[in-house]
Amino acid sequence: MRKSSLAGVSIAAVILAAISITRSGAEQVLRGAEAFGDWQRDKPGTVRLITPQDLPRPGAMASSSNSSRVVQRPASAVPQVPAGFKIELFASGLSGPRIIRTAPNGDMFVAETGPGRIRILRSADGAAKSATNDVYATGLNRPFGLAFFPSGDNPQWLYVANTDSVVRFAYRNGDLKASGKPEAVARLPHGGNHFTRDIVFTPDDKRMLVSVGSAGNAGEGLGQPPQGVEAWSRDHALGAPWGIETDRAAVLAFDPDGKNQKLFATGIRNCVGLAIQPGSGTPWCSTNERDGRGDNLVPDYVTRVREGAFYGWPWYYIGANEDPAHAGARPDLKDRVTVPDVLLQAHSASLGLTFYTGSSFPPEYRGDAFAAEHGSWNRSKRTGYKVIRIRLKDGVPTGEYEDFVTGFVIGDNEVWGRPVGVTVARDGALLVSEDGNGTIWRVSRE
């Protein structure tokens, strides 16, 4: 009887049974092709695991142009969060809020990139709404990354990563207005695509790390750098000419005063979000991979960033997978590519990144990471437009990620929200910025 019943089970049914496993009796883990999905499969608590072995071959699907139309948020539209949490509108009426950072005193600093300004939101611990809303500084050039320096409870500076430079303002806890003009710290490569720059400091306060995305999509029209990763990195760091991609698609390292620029890691197409993992002190990147390779290529990713590591762009992706546009160009690099830790649905546009350091969420959340997915344009079936939780075990990524905040998509063509920044408030709530309708949302336990 058992043999005949198994014979009647379709291969598809067996596969579906294999991809849906349960840890607690309710949690679904999507694997392989099922994990690629689209916005209609998004739901708080859904977990995905994508591995390099799951990637389709290049050319398996045509590339699509499918930009979303951002509409006014319907009055009834509220983002969705897992059971046991609640989400509330913390602030509205902002102009394209992007990265959001929590100051040591609890103030929320928000980069409004388009208008070129930094805004401060202040509220009491546990408050569902911002009580004050002040403009800290104006006249900046597409500001994005924000960092307080030195570490600890009494920083002396607020660093701002403009698209073309790093500047800093003298800062004291509680400042609502910049006390003077910004001081220029470092010049950054700029122009072309990928204008965002994020910034963090190593835990010992000795190094400033800045992410700089590529100027193009996949190295179009590049000259050939010197043979070998070591020579390329050495000469690249010294400013050897390599067209518009010199010192780009990389994480750069500086002294806190902007001196001694070096390459920290290379081959990262667009590390939009930078974060330092508490405890280990390891830098992490939330990364946008290349477009034009089909719906499910190339996966975006969130990963630890090792000094001296090369992540493949533009010749390879997700390990030794060669980009067809550069076939045969750099065989010497094939075995040098570092595979990212957590692969995401392709074209999700993974942006801001933070680690959960609060104590108000359940204990299993502590130390995990959250990333904001701005949403796809280069996919026939829309994906992204959510906040995901990156799962770690003993500080090490498992490769799994979980839909945590969803509900920003109205239909196949319309969205009302595009998440950008994530930060942990002093009271342990998670704050999420979205630049579609200019709002910030607060996630807390019920």
- pLDDT single digits (tens) 403-440: 999 999 999 999 999 999 999 999 999 999 999 999 99
Mean pLDDT across the chain:
91
pLDDT at 368: 98
Higher pLDDT, 220 or 369: 369
pLDDT at 12: 37
Residue 375 tokens read as 């949403």
Domains and their CATH numbers in the chain: 18-55+64-78+93-445 (2.120.10.30)
pLDDT at 199: 98
Say whether pLDDT at 8 is over 90: no
SS3 of residue 3 by DSSP? helix
pLDDT at 240: 44
Helix (H) or strand (E) holding 13: helix 11-19
Which pLDDT band, with edges at 50, 70 and 90, does 220 fall under?
Answer: confident
Listed in sequence order, the residues at least 6 apart from 252 whose beta carbon sits closer than 8 Å to its beta carbon are 188, 209, 210, 211, 212, 261, 262, 263, 264
pLDDT digits over 170-202, tens only? 999 999 999 999 999 999 999 999 999 999 999
Say whether pLDDT at 53 is over 60: yes
pLDDT at 148: 98
Say whether pLDDT at 3 is over 50: no
pLDDT at 224: 58
Which pLDDT band, with edges at 50, 70 and 90, does 28 fall under?
Answer: confident
φ, ψ for residue 436, nearest 5 deg = -75, -50
Say whether pLDDT at 227 is over 70: no
Which pLDDT band, with edges at 50, 70 and 90, does 230 fall under?
Answer: low
Contact 90, 431 (CB under 8 A): yes
Say whether pLDDT at 51 is over 70: yes
Amino acid residing at 222: L
pLDDT digits over 382-406, tens only? 999 999 999 999 999 999 999 999 9
Average pLDDT over residues 47-51: 98
Residue 171 tokens read as 């800062």
The number of residues in the chain equals: 446
Question: Residue 407 and residue 444: Cα distance in Å, rounded?
Answer: 17
pLDDT at 225: 58
What is the β-pairing status of strands 208-212 and 250-254? Answer: antiparallel
pLDDT at 229: 54
pTM for the whole structure: 0.92
Say whether pLDDT at 10 is over 90: no
CA distances from 91 to 101, 182, 370, 433 (A): 15, 27, 20, 9
Say whether pLDDT at 319 is over 50: yes
pLDDT at 26: 53
SS3 of residue 414 by DSSP? strand
pLDDT digits over 134-176, tens only? 999 999 999 999 999 999 999 999 999 999 999 999 999 999 9
Amino acid residing at 293: R
pLDDT at 18: 40
Say whether pLDDT at 24 is over 90: no
pLDDT at 244: 78
Say whether pLDDT at 217 is over 90: yes
pLDDT digits over 255-310, tens only? 999 999 999 999 999 999 999 999 999 999 999 999 999 999 999 999 999 999 99
Q: Which residue has the tokens 């570092």?
A: 338
Average pLDDT over residues 44-65: 96
